[in-house]
């Protein structure tokens, strides 16, 4: 083993899985598994972006909740109604929200389907609203624990939990499953999901979304729903419907992600926290040895991410404010083999409650990406509040998504950490036998590396940069020059 290199060799899955080297292949195989959480993007904006995403190999997009929510201006809470979290306070299951109408959602799913991109909806089924009374976005009047539709009560007090632990019924501890799954999250009316009526009502809503072209669901706050209840709701969906449970891993807590993997995939929050920390610290060795088993993380049914709308607000992970570090961590995620990756695209904020840009009528303004988005904005004047950051459009990201779609079925054969003399700079490389290679600089120093590869000698195009920036392979080594926090990715299907 050469000095300065730590190698973790991964056993080959089997010779049949390794694609034969044929030089410049006429067409690359493709398997799409990368998604993008498009936080607070309108239906029209997602529809407009889907052709770009489909062309890049994005498999699916996640929308914010589509159901009717509290019109914050009527809630009498002292807020101005612009906050993002009103979207997570349902008052009915009408598909009308400040992100768009029912017809616009159907048009969006059709546009994305034409582009080859599935649509997952964020399903808020643990609770209803957390205010005493008000009016929904589409005009539905409601009271806490009573949510009518067309004059009849969809839910009344008997359809909600009453945990009788504290005066306000809020969760007061995370050491008992009963408290986590029967008490209220900040006064949000907690649905009795063990009830057949509640399950049937939720199921009808999810079926309605499927009828509009939605392909799958993220179950918001799944940790706060008994796993048996989630399993029953999922079982009623058409077979094969993709479901992601949001279950935040908490040390020593009784409710863990593994309890939800029998019927859904689960985002691994612990993975995001560790990868972000390792990239921030330039710990290439830790990234090269990131074994889920070693860290007590999910090994089956895992979905990976670097940041989401919650973690960027509580500083649990990297965020757009980390600029190029976030870009490098995203490259690590796309190059690795530790689950199905989820990108994130949102807006800038200086206050954690701050909502997106709004139109005069209170609806959300359409997100737009110029194609000039860049993580280096952090080093300049920064982003204006509510500006669309379009992290998925940062240089290299969609190119790496396309690269992943070509190589992901080839086994990951080696992960190596590379360091310069004196530890001034570090990088991590991901080899997929004779099919592909990615290298990510996780430092603020320029690096010039000779990286071992089984790719045949010759010249390759860097998938992470536009055009064809050429990378040479000679005598089993790729000559890689990296700017700070930069990623390079080559594969046998992208030769000039």
> Would you please indicate which residues are annotated as catalytic (active-site) residues?
220, 246
Q: What length is written for the chain? A: 496
Most distant CA pair in the chain, distance: 76
DSSP string, 2-58: -TTEEEEE---S-GGGSPPP-SS-SS-------EEEETT--HHHHHHHHHHHHHHT-
SS3 400: helix
Q: Pick from 460, 461, 453: which is nearest to 437 by CA?
A: 453
DSSP characters over 248-288 = ---TT-S--GGGGTTTSEEE-HHHHHHHHHHHHTT-HHHHH
SS3 401: helix
User: Would you say 24 and 49 are in contact if contact means Cβ atoms under 8 Å apart?
Assistant: no
| Angle subtended at Cα 331 by Cα 326 and Cα 332, rounded to the nearest 5 degrees | 95
Phi, psi of 147 (to 5 degrees): -125, 100
**3-state secondary structure at position 149:** strand
Interatomic CA distance for residues 152 and 164, integer angstroms = 28
Residue with the two structure tokens 């993975």? 271
Q: DSSP string spanning 277-336?
A: HHHHTT-HHHHHT--HHHHT---SSEEEES--TTHHHHTSS--GGGTHHHHHHHHHHHHS
Report the 10 Å Cβ neighbour count for 480: 25
E strand or H helix that includes residue 178: helix 177-182
CB burial of residue 239 (10 Å; 0-12, 13-18, 19+):
exposed
């Amino acid at each position: 083993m050469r000095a300065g290199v730590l190698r973790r060799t991964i056993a080959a899955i089997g010779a049949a899985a390794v694609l034969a080297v044929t030089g410049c292949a006429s067409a690359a195989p493709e398997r799409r598994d990368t998604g993008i959480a498009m936080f607070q993007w309108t239906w029209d904006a997602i529809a407009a972006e889907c052709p770009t995403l489909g062309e890049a190999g994005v498999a699916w997009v996640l929308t914010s909740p589509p159901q009717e929510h509290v019109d914050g201006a009527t809630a009498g809470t002292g807020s101005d109604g612009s906050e993002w979290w009103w979207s997570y306070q349902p008052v009915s299951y009408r598909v009308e929200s400040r992100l768009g109408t029912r017809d616009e959602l159907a048009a969006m799913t059709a546009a994305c389907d034409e582009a080859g991109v599935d649509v997952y909806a964020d399903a808020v089924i643990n609770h209803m609203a957390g205010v005493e009374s008000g009016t929904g976005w589409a005009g539905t009047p409601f009271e806490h624990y009573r949510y009518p539709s067309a004059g009849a009560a969809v839910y009344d007090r008997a359809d909600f939990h009453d945990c009788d632990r504290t005066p306000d019924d809020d969760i007061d501890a995370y050491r008992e499953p009963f408290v986590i799954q029967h008490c209220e999250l900040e006064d949000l009316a907690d649905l009795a999901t063990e009830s057949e009526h509640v399950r049937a009502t939720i199921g009808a809503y999810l079926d309605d979304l499927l009828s509009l072209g939605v392909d799958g669901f993220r179950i918001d706050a799944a940790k706060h729903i008994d796993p048996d209840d989630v399993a029953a709701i999922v079982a009623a969906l058409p077979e094969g419907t993709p479901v992601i449970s949001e279950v935040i891993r908490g040390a020593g807590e009784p409710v863990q992600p593994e309890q939800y993997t029998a019927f859904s995939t689960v985002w691994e929050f612990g993975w995001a926290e560790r990868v972000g920390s390792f990239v921030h610290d330039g710990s290439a060795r830790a990234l090269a040895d990131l074994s889920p088993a070693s860290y007590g993380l999910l090994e089956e049914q895992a979905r990976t991410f670097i940041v989401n709308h919650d973690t960027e607000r509580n500083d649990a992970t990297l965020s757009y404010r980390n600029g190029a570090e976030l870009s490098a961590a995203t490259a690590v995620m796309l190059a690795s083999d530790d689950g199905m990756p989820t990108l994130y695209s949102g807006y800038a904020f200086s206050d954690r409650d701050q909502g997106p840009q709004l139109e005069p009528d209170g609806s959300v303004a359409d997100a737009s990406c110029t194609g000039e988005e860049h993580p280096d904005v952090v080093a300049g004047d920064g982003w204006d509040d509510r500006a669309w950051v379009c992290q998925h459009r940062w240089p290299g990201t969609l190119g790496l998504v396309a690269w992943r779609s070509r190589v992901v079925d080839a086994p990951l054969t080696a992960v190596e950490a590379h360091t310069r003399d004196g530890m001034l700079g570090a990088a991590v490389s991901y080899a997929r036998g004779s099919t592909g290679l990615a290298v990510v600089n996780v430092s603020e120093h320029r690096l010039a590396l000779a990286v071992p590869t089984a790719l045949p000698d010759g010249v390759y195009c860097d998938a992470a940069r536009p055009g064809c920036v050429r990378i040479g392979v000679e005598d089993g080594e790729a000559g890689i020059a990296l700017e700070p926090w930069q990623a390079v990715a080559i594969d046998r299907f992208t030769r000039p």
